[in-house]
Structure 1
Amino acid sequence: MKASILILFVSLHQTAIPQVNRESESFAPLSEELALQGVREMYNFQFDESRESFEKFTALNPDHPAGYFYQVVLDWFTFRMFKEDKDIWGEMSDELDRVVIIAEGQLKMYPDDALSMVYLGAARGLKARIALSKNDFIDTFYDGYAGYSIIQEAMRIDPTMIDPKIGLGIFHYFIAISSPMIRSLSYIAGISSSKEKAIDEIAEVSERGIYASIEARSFLMFIYAYIEEEHVKALNLSRGLVKEFDQSPYFHGKLADILLLNGEIEEARQHLELIPKLVVGLPDKYQMEMKTRVKFLQGESLRREGKPEEALELFIGLADLYTLEFKFNLGYIYLRTGMAYDEIGERKEAKKQYKKAVKLDNYTSAVRLSKLYLKEAYVRDDAPK
């Protein structure tokens, strides 16, 4: 996989909002409760309420980078799902430049202000993500590595901070599962970690973090479901997130998929039935994406019931409707379509689907399993011998 994907992940997850160390000399903003409220509203798809909370927080702290950064995070969070106008990249880049300027101003007055340093590093990380969207790999690496280094320095100054560890842990995780070449280059740059240690770092944030706990749990849910294939762990995390954020169609969709991975077909269908109600009032683009997602998971539930022909009626054509920038879910559309074709003896069609999944070349089990089924046809465990 391309090395740039490493920068992508550290950029995405350095957007986690830092935890304030209440025991150190206070450079912390006022009314942290407003910021935390805004974060929770954002994950629960209450975007107007979230923006209002962040704007109030910024008004109380006009000279601190925190509030401005939170508003950019909300823009980023909603843009990933809703926006069709790519010009927002320029607007977000300008907003991040303001965060950088304010954070650097704080650091000129207080050189050891670890909190402002974390905001600076997170802003640089998100700038790297924007550069990646424009295929500007020089700025992607420059800003991404700068963000990583700045957050490392903040952690050196104040090792009691928990939330910023999420960006470091995710970066370490993807280095650990990368190609030998990327691991070697990372080692030369002074970056090395085992996969187990990286997961422990993220798990610590999920358990002890304040602002980043949600993102840490969401990320662990993702890797357990789609990379590590520890589906019971993924299910436990997913159930907790849906209980906490019951208005999020995203979390309901993930839980439905993970329930299917665990063989819980009927419960998965219950969550799929909720999604059309939860997306009412959301932008048309997102409603269409979730409609495609629900259709795919309905097909997968049929396939798992031993009805591959009916599943294929829902699967066929779904890949052409896929519009998301990153192709993790697309790999599973190809994989499971191929599995359904194998189940009805259409080996040639199955191999076409597996080859499309393999071509995506990412770390997910969709690619690994597609490589396996290219060599040997998929056979259901409970199929007649």
Structure 2
Amino acid sequence: MLFKNKMKLSGRKFFLFVLSLFIFFFLSHNLKAQNKNDRGFPAILEADLSAAATEVYHLQFNSAERHLHHAMVLLPDHPASYFFMTMLRWYQFTYDSLEYRNPVLEKALEFEAERTITVAKRYLKKNKNEATGFLYLGGALGAKGWYRVIRGQWIRAYFDGKKGYSLMRKVIEIDPELYDAYLGIGMYEYYAATLGPALRALASFSIRGDKWAALRSLQLAQYKSRYVRLEAAYFLWSGAMDEGRLADAKEIMEVLTQSYPESPLFRWCEIQTLFYQKKWVETILKGEKYSADALKASQSGNSVNPFNLLLAKVYYHCGAAAFNLRHYDRAKFYFKKAIEQHAEFVGWKAMAILRMGELLDMEGKRKEAIENYKKVLDLPKAWNSQRLAKERIKKPYQMNRRNGNNFISSPLQLWNAELQ
């Protein structure tokens, strides 16, 4: 599985390295407190926090926020609901792309992380030897580490993550049978072992981790934890995608989609997996089913349709799949659909406009193609869209003269390639 093949360094993997603690605390959403009778947080909070986590999987952010505010009212001095609010801001910020930039959400994320730290420290003053306070304090520090990552503050991100890891170790010292905690420890150890010595920004700190100790921790979490087995599957899917173990990734995502069949997030991950496998027809079929469900949800009269949030991304990949099948008219149809979506993140729109320009170049419609490339330059930078648009303005897009088979990959495979 995750440790079978050597991983290649990428910005996405360093992102996961710093975020391992943060991701763990969100995903172990049903964890109950540190003593024998109540492990993780009081039972009075479980209904709201579990409901909030499920709503996040379904991209129903407003509903999740209502549950969390209610939890804060129930127990204002407990750190759990504050940390979950930090998690909510993270998902609001990143559900569509790690390329998304929103100063308002960035500040909200930073505020919630700092608030969680304050509440967790106050909790620890009253409950000095309980794992709960250390659990959420470590999670909040992991969230701060992620915030540093998106700001490019690699060294500060590393030290926030390291502090969080130390707190995780302390949780295990207090309660070694809290097996859910081993997931975060194993993730951090693994990325410290594989990325610490390789990343230029951190090379001088002699960062080391123990890959085999990490594997043992992950196995404990996988086979003995009460609540994080499904969530570990999501992490393993991401690792499998990064490593190119796409059959494993597909198998894992099938488990997640079966567990959360109404989750737009996991439905999208299934489409992404098929695209990486170059299963173009299956990608389009799953994309069409996603689109149909989005339309059905819109017609149901619901004020919030979470499927629409990822439609631009789904349509873009359907267009790319159609292009790779040489069904160029169909590709134009899907790219046009991607452009029409009212997504908060405009990166998919920019990439779709770029592809429309390339298709127009292929048809010999140079003037219209240039108009599309110029539109890309008017939009915020996303992946390599602006660089390619400038190149296409100078020189028309052409089919490969050797085999006549140009190929469109996913922009997600380009995430922070400059860090490699």
- Give TM-score scaled by structure 2 length: 0.66
The Cα of 1:171 is off from its aligned counterpart by: 2.1
Q: Which residue of the other structure, out of 37, 40, 45, is the alignment partner of 2:51?
A: 37
* 1:219-258 correspondence to structure 2 within 5 Å: 219-227=235-243, 229-258=244-273
Q: Match of 2:178, as an amino acid? A: M
The Cα of 1:126 is off from its aligned counterpart by: 0.3
- Aligned partner of 1:20 in structure 2 is 32
Query: 1:284-304 CA distances to partner (integer Å, 9 max, x unpaired)?
Result: 99958642443224433663x
Query: 1:224-281 CA distances to partner (integer Å, 9 max, x unpaired)?
Result: 1231x22222112111211222232232222123235556555433321133355558
- Aligned partner of 2:110 in structure 1 is 93
- Aligned partner of 1:8 in structure 2 is 18
* 1:326-345 correspondence to structure 2 within 5 Å: 345=403
1:216 aligns with 2:232: yes
Conservation of the 8 A alpha-carbon contact between 1:20 and 1:161: no
Change (3 A) 1:96 1:256: closer
- Aligned partner of 2:286 in structure 1 is 271
Query: 1:52-80 CA distances to partner (integer Å, 9 max, x unpaired)?
Result: 33233222221110011112211221122
Query: 1:97-124 CA distances to partner (integer Å, 9 max, x unpaired)?
Result: 2211221122222222112101000001
| Range with bigger deviation, 44-53 or 292-301 | 292-301
Aligned identity (percent) is 18
Query: 1:162-218 CA distances to partner (integer Å, 9 max, x unpaired)?
Result: 3333322222332333374569969955x4222x65456446545554554443221
The Cα of 1:21 is off from its aligned counterpart by: 4.6
- Aligned partner of 2:312 in structure 1 is 291
Alignment size in residue pairs: 346
Unaligned runs of 5+ in 1: 329-339, 364-385
The Cα of 1:9 is off from its aligned counterpart by: 3.3
* 1:51-66 correspondence to structure 2 within 5 Å: 51-66=65-80
Conservation of the 8 A alpha-carbon contact between 1:13 and 1:166: no
The Cα of 1:223 is off from its aligned counterpart by: 1.5
Q: Match of 1:215, as an amino acid? A: E
Change (3 A) 1:94 1:258: closer
Q: 2:43 aligns to what SS in structure 1? A: coil
- Aligned partner of 1:378 in structure 2 is none
The Cα of 1:150 is off from its aligned counterpart by: 1.2
- Aligned partner of 1:76 in structure 2 is 90
Q: Match of 2:182, as an amino acid? A: K
Change (3 A) 1:253 1:359: closer
Q: 1:192 aligns to what SS in structure 2? A: coil
* 1:74-223 correspondence to structure 2 within 5 Å: 74-81=88-95, 85-178=102-195, 180-181=197-198, 191-194=208-211, 198=214, 201-202=217-218, 204-206=220-222, 208-209=224-225, 212-223=228-239
Change (3 A) 1:258 1:89: closer
Q: Match of 2:157, as an amino acid? A: T
Unaligned runs of 5+ in 2: 1-9, 336-350, 357-372, 385-397
Alpha-carbon distance in 2 for matches of 1:283, 1:79: 17
Change (3 A) 1:88 1:257: closer
- Aligned partner of 1:381 in structure 2 is none
Q: 2:209 aligns to what SS in structure 1? A: coil
Alpha-carbon distance in 2 for matches of 1:264, 1:154: 44
- Give TM-score scaled by structure 1 length: 0.71
The Cα of 1:46 is off from its aligned counterpart by: 2.7
The Cα of 1:86 is off from its aligned counterpart by: 0.8
Indicate the structure whose relative CO is greater, using CA pairs within 8 Å and at least 6 residues apart.
2
Alpha-carbon distance in 2 for matches of 1:176, 1:61: 39
Alpha-carbon distance in 1 for matches of 2:252, 2:36: 32
